[in-house]
Structure 1
Amino acid sequence: MPNDYAIYDAGTVVLQSGAALRDCKLAYKTFGKLNAKKDNVVVYPTWYSGQHYDNEWLVGAGMALDPDKYFIIIPNMLGNGLSSSPSNMPEPYNASRFPQVTPYDNVRLQHRLVHDELGIERVKLVIGWSMGALQTFHWGCLYPEMVERILPFCGSAKCSRHNFVFLEGVKAALTADAAWNNGWYKEKPARGLRAMARVYAGWGFSQTFYREELDLKVLGFSSLEDFLVAFWEGFFLPKDANNLLTMLWTWQNGDISRNEVFKGDFHKALGAIKALAYVMPGQTDLYFPPEDSAIEVKHMPRAKLIPMPSIWGHFAGGPGTNPEDVKFLDRHVQALLDTPV
């Protein structure tokens, strides 16, 4: 992949855990140009294991996120291999010594980039899929005077207990590989990554997706086993195991109220989101079911619940897998951008 991104050197960042992330680097990519008023800004955070390349399917000429109209910033999450991560951090905080990072830590750092480094006071839209949605909710409640609109899709404002349990299975599968060696592996723990991929395979798409054999009929795999190996194992094998576990911890500890601002009051944090919001869960998402989103929307003053009518499960939201879902999402992104605040 090309080195087509910029680096924001943040210096020493003290995390929620109290650990200091020294020489902290935030990788980001921008599309379009910042206008004279600096009011055409879209922030689009990355998701679990994804990098900014994996967000680009929703950006393009003629789409709602059109670089000819908007200045789009895609910040890479800490731990994703481009921003400061276990895989690129120098000793002594490399590999499994990399500190625990929360979504709050990520969004505070992103705010420094947007506000302090780029000089932006207003953000027209924050949007994100999955863990990107988690960060979107954080932007809304932490910077209510700055953010005009949010569109979290296929994600939540807090990691549910059920979601936490799923992730425990993912973590157990990966770390059971003897090559894992408590994070000090000399070669990648391939068996663990393959096992992790198979756990994920039962959750990423819906029961109906599998019942209707869309892995074969639409995605073109030759068999279910081919789909499990080529799609799922192929997805995770190139990724660094320590990076995956760092981001997994971030996901499990996602909660917009878990900070000094809201002190654990989840409903207060949701109520603090002044932005006009479209909350778009996947109708058949096994990670983030629509009923969780309905509870969140009930406590948000300017939010509308818009489920995505798809049988593609979590992948209704990305990364651009089903063209019909992309059209549905893009249409609502445009509608939200067109709605006066």
Structure 2
Amino acid sequence: MDYEIFDLGDVPLQRGATLRNARLAYKTYGKLDADKGNVIVYPTWYSGQHYDNEWLIGPGMALDPEKYFIIVPNMLGNGLSSSPSNTPEPYNLSRFPDITLYDNVRLQHRLVTEKFGIERIALVTGWSMGAQQTNQWGCLYPDMVQRIAPFCGSAKTAPHNIVFLEGVKAALTADAAWNGGWYSTPPSKGLRAVGRVYAGWGLSQPFYMQELWRELGFSSLEDFLVGFWEGFFLQKDANNLLAMLWSWQHGDISDNPVFKGDFKKALGAIKARAIVMPAERDLYFPVADNEWEVSHMPNAECRPIPGVWGHFAGGGSSPVDTRFIDTALKELLATP
């Protein structure tokens, strides 16, 4: 096991249930300075686990473990932290409670403060749902978070994004083996179908026109659809995917007791210096959404990632896009 567990005890959740014996899985990279001022928090994304974030961590990069203490908390529902797949009865499998961004970030804050005694964070950054958690950190803890860099994400899930996720959900739950979430063997047909649905959204039209899947080692379009997309989702647990999908669809940094649904107020509360990086060709977190959000944030700029990799510009597969993100992070960390 290359990660640690922070036991949270019984946690009352935002939507009314209590997550008993809640567990937050996390991994750290680097060492905490004596003054505890070198902290970076880097949350995970939809279905991702801590090791899926490691492409952005390394010597000479912005997230350099020789300089910073990097904490990667695993999102609730991702199979390592408390999830449908590892929670005992009665809240197991399809009875796993609804988890919000507010729940996730509140528990991550407990990890950072209770486990490590940290009072300020140099940077919070993340991709996709990790970006949503980044924005949530920024508005909930404005005096603690000095900088944020959400990439390929949003502060509130847009209606079109919700519709896309309905397609993912429908593909998965149409498999008879899903059995309302009480499956004994994985609903592999549904998981393969999710991969096919996602393939059309995660990457842009020019990506496919230019056959850039060849750069990832695939020999044909069908090879890419089966080898990459179906293979990707066959490794995942269906109930875990659906739990995180619910969190994503209900993503809204203002939907909590602090901001009571006032989205502009939540954006305005983000005091951190921010570089917000949408991908130019992202089909479900479009640039325009981030531009509007940034216009309501006091110390932010919108810096789109150019190119044709769409949402996966932030996934670590494109070296050019990785350099773009890393350069922005270095610039941000260099600002006082």
Given the two structures, how large is their TM-score scaled by the length of structure 1?
0.98
Within 5 A, what are the aligned runs for 1:154-165? 154-165=152-163
Query: Which residue is 1:288 aligned to?
Result: 285
Q: Residues of 2 paired with 1:253 and 1:298: CA distance?
A: 22
List per-residue Cα deviations over 1:117-158 (Å, max 9, x = no partner). 210000000000000000000000000000000000000000
Query: Which residue is 2:324 aligned to?
Result: 328
For residue 182 of structure 1, the aligned residue among 171, 180, 183 is: 180
Q: Secondary structure at the match of 1:248?
A: helix
1:75 deviates by 0.1
Q: In structure 2, what residue type is equivalent to 1:47?
A: W
Matched, 1:273 2:237: no
1:115 deviates by 1.1
Matched, 1:245 2:242: yes
For residue 307 of structure 2, the aligned residue among 294, 310, 325 is: 310
Q: Secondary structure at the match of 1:66?
A: coil
Q: In structure 2, what residue type is equivalent to 1:242?
A: N
Q: In structure 1, what residue type is equivalent to 2:271?
A: K
Given the two structures, how large is their TM-score scaled by the length of structure 2?
0.99
Q: In structure 2, what residue type is equivalent to 1:233?
A: E
Q: Residues of 2 paired with 1:106 and 1:64: CA distance?
A: 25
Q: Residues of 2 paired with 1:259 and 1:38: CA distance?
A: 29
Query: Which residue is 1:38 aligned to?
Result: 36
Q: Secondary structure at the match of 2:72?
A: strand
Query: Which residue is 1:337 aligned to?
Result: 333
List per-residue Cα deviations over 1:268-315 (Å, max 9, x = no partner). 000000000000000001110100000000000000110001210001
Q: Secondary structure at the match of 2:327?
A: helix
- Give unpaired runs (5+ residues) of structure 1: none
Within 5 A, what are the aligned runs for 1:67-146? 67-146=65-144
1:58 deviates by 0.4
Q: Residues of 2 paired with 1:270 and 1:103: CA distance?
A: 15
Q: In structure 2, what residue type is equivalent to 1:331?
A: T
1:23 deviates by 0.2
- Give unpaired runs (5+ residues) of structure 2: none
Q: In structure 2, what residue type is equivalent to 1:336?
A: L
1:92 deviates by 1.1
Q: Secondary structure at the match of 1:61?
A: coil
For residue 151 of structure 1, the aligned residue among 146, 149, 152 is: 149
Q: Residues of 1 paired with 2:81 and 2:6: CA distance?
A: 9
Q: Residues of 1 paired with 2:14 and 2:217: CA distance?
A: 45
Q: In structure 2, what residue type is equivalent to 1:275?
A: A
Q: Residues of 1 paired with 2:32 and 2:18: CA distance?
A: 32
Query: Which residue is 1:21 aligned to?
Result: 19
Q: Residues of 1 paired with 2:140 and 2:264: CA distance?
A: 14
Q: Residues of 1 paired with 2:93 and 2:216: CA distance?
A: 35
User: After TM superposition, where is structure 1 displaced by more than 4 Å over at least 4 residues in a row?
Assistant: none
Q: Residues of 2 paired with 1:170 and 1:24: CA distance?
A: 27
Q: Residues of 1 paired with 2:71 and 2:195: CA distance?
A: 30
1:100 deviates by 0.5
Q: In structure 1, what residue type is equivalent to 2:164?
A: F
Question: What's the C-alpha RMSD, in Å, of the aligned pairs?
Answer: 0.5
Q: Residues of 1 paired with 2:298 and 2:244: CA distance?
A: 30
Q: Secondary structure at the match of 2:252?
A: coil
1:220 deviates by 2.5
Identity of aligned residues (%): 72
List per-residue Cα deviations over 1:10-40 (Å, max 9, x = no partner). 0000000110000000000000010011000
Query: Which residue is 1:227 aligned to?
Result: 224
Q: In structure 2, what residue type is equivalent to 1:94?
A: N
Q: Residues of 2 paired with 1:211 and 1:222: CA distance?
A: 14
Paired residues in the alignment total: 336
Q: In structure 1, what residue type is equivalent to 2:332?
A: L
Q: In structure 1, what residue type is equivalent to 2:299?
A: R
Query: Which residue is 1:264 aligned to?
Result: 261
